[in-house]
Copies of this chain bind each other. A is one copy, B any other.
């Protein structure tokens, strides 16, 4: 029996955020606004950690939409705001996700969805993406009152799974997330979906690949 449990980040790693691009194009006239919005959302979540503001990811996602609209002098209608946020709850999986999760499970690994979204939002996202039977468990940062990459939330996941940190491996397409996991001695695998350079100051995972097929192959080789 495999002892390693594989945690998957959800937004961008499992689900394809690019599906929101047409909505950003329609509302903001420029699909690249999506990247700015997501980056502002991440920054705001870390500010909330540091200053002990209790909130959830969806609330911050809405606030950051309004912020960027105001900054661009664009009137954000309630309909457009709701449409983008509904789209966020209805993202399709990347094409490589179902085969990867199926392969890991048939190789005996347990798979866990682990996200900054609230438990309710992750559950909705996973169900809408048709991935419900591909995950053994769902863990949200929600109960910790914090967000990744706060060390607290990776430790919380290990406690929830009743496993030592070093028997867990996080798969993510964000270097700040794999770095956060590695900072508390969790293992990690980085899938480079965007072409982004891995931050040279962040901790480097022993598994790094550009396709999920390679990630799975390397996990099976190393963690079997």
Do residues B46 and A183 form an inter-chain contact, with CB atoms below 8 A? Answer: no
Do residues A50 and B50 form an inter-chain contact, with CB atoms below 8 A? Answer: yes
Do residues A151 and B50 form an inter-chain contact, with CB atoms below 8 A? Answer: yes
Complex: A201 Cα to B55 Cα, angstroms:
8
Nearest residue (CB) in B for A51 is B183
Complex: A66 Cα to B194 Cα, angstroms:
13
Say whether chain A's binding surface is mostly helix, strand, loop, or mixed.
Answer: helix
Do residues B46 and A201 form an inter-chain contact, with CB atoms below 8 A? Answer: no
Complex: A43 Cα to B179 Cα, angstroms:
14
Chain B hits for A39, CB < 8 A: 36, 39-40, 43
Q: What's the nearest-Cβ distance from chain B to residue A186, in Å?
A: 12
Q: Which of B44, B68, B194, B201 contacts A48 (CB 8 A)?
A: B201
Interface size of A as a range:
35 or more
Q: Which of B49, B51, B199 contacts A50 (CB 8 A)?
A: B49
| Stretch binding the partner chain, chosen from A3-11, A27-35, A103-111, A116-124 | A27-35
Do residues A180 and B30 form an inter-chain contact, with CB atoms below 8 A? Answer: no
Do residues A53 and B176 form an inter-chain contact, with CB atoms below 8 A? Answer: no
Chain B hits for A196, CB < 8 A: 67-68, 70-71
Do residues A53 and B202 form an inter-chain contact, with CB atoms below 8 A? Answer: yes
Q: What's the nearest-Cβ distance from chain B to residue A200, in Å?
A: 7
Chain B hits for A194, CB < 8 A: 70-71
Q: Is the CB of A42 closer than 8 A to any CB of chain B?
A: yes
Nearest residue (CB) in B for A60 is B201
Q: Is the CB of A197 closer than 8 A to any CB of chain B?
A: yes
Q: What's the nearest-Cβ distance from chain B to residue A106, in Å?
A: 33
Complex: A51 Cα to B174 Cα, angstroms:
15
Chain B hits for A151, CB < 8 A: 50-51
